[in-house]
């Protein structure tokens, strides 16, 4: 975004578009893929910055737990029902509650490191058009439901979220690539390497 919050059109930008936003159902493997993308970028000599669109939700979650007398040791763990509720409430109060700070952090990252690859692994449907306007390429990550559920059971969430909650609505914006995360970690890494190769061209 430019001064005054204006989104700078891609044609006016003087740096390559190296921004990836991942979306998909919980347990599809977005965070795992994001980590692999970052590693492949670093292997290719490209700086990386990871940005969480939902960062304010994790801050709010930590505050709720602290107020409830159960402060979190790790603020990255997920209380799915709480995050679902917080996401819906914050967007109801202000539809730009999440995307506005994300846009500001994106702008800051671009200013600090114009050649960096920016990776967001937690985009949701309500913010898709705004994320596209910021120049991100959307990558959908999918996995069979049985595999997703196994992964969710293993990742140590405080509580599992609801796949049918409004905050988990399908993204209808056009995807740049789709990753089928049904095989081994080696298969996923190969797909990550392919994405990085295209982004760094």
Residue 75: closest CA among 87, 90, 65: 65
| Structure confidence at residue 17 (pLDDT) | 66
The enclosing H or E element of 109 equals helix 99-112
| Structure confidence at residue 61 (pLDDT) | 96
The tokens of 146 are what? 């049985």
Pick the range with the lowest mean pLDDT from 45-49, 57-61, 164-168: 164-168
Answer yes or no: is pLDDT of 12 > 50. Answer: no
User: SS3 string of 140-189?
Assistant: EEECCHHHHHHHHHHCCCCECCCCCCHHHCCCCCCCCEEEECCCCHHHHH
Domain boundaries, the chain: 13-54+98-199
Cα(10)–Cα(137) distance, integer angstroms: 12
pLDDT in tens, 118-160: 999 999 999 999 999 999 999 999 999 888 888 877 877 888 7
| Structure confidence at residue 201 (pLDDT) | 84
What value does the mean pLDDT take over residues 193-201?
93
Residue with tokens 């390559």: 16
Instruction: Measure the N-to-C terminal CA separation of the chain; round to a whole number of Å.
Output: 24
pLDDT in tens, 50-103: 999 999 999 999 999 999 999 998 878 889 999 999 999 999 999 999 999 999
The tokens of 77 are what? 């763990």
Fold classification of 13-54+98-199 (topology level)? Rossmann fold (3.40.50)
| Structure confidence at residue 154 (pLDDT) | 80
**DSSP 8-state class, residue 113:** -
Which one has a higher pLDDT value, 199 or 7? 199
């Amino acid at each position: 975004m430019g001064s005054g919050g204006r989104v700078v059109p891609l044609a006016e930008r003087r740096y390559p578009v190296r921004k990836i936003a991942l979306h998909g159902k919980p347990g599809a493997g977005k965070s795992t893929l994001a980590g692999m993308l970052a590693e492949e970028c670093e292997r290719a000599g490209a700086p990386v910055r990871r940005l969480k669109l939902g960062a304010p939700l994790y801050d709010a979650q930590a505050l709720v737990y602290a107020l409830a007398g159960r402060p979190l040791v790790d603020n990255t763990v997920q209380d799915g029902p709480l995050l679902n509720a917080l996401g819906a409430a914050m967007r109801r109060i202000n539809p730009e509650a999440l995307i506005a700070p994300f846009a500001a952090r994106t702008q800051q990252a671009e200013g600090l490191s114009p050649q960096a690859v920016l990776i967001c692994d937690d985009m949701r449907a309500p913010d898709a058009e705004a994320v596209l306007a910021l120049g991100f390429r959307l990558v959908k990550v999918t996995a069979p439901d049985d595999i997703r559920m196994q992964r969710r059971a293993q990742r140590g969430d405080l509580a599992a979220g609801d796949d049918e909650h409004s905050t988990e609505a399908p993204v209808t914006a056009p995807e740049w690539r789709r990753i089928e995360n049904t095989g081994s970690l080696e298969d996923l890494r190969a797909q990550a390497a392919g994405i990085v190769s295209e982004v760094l061209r």
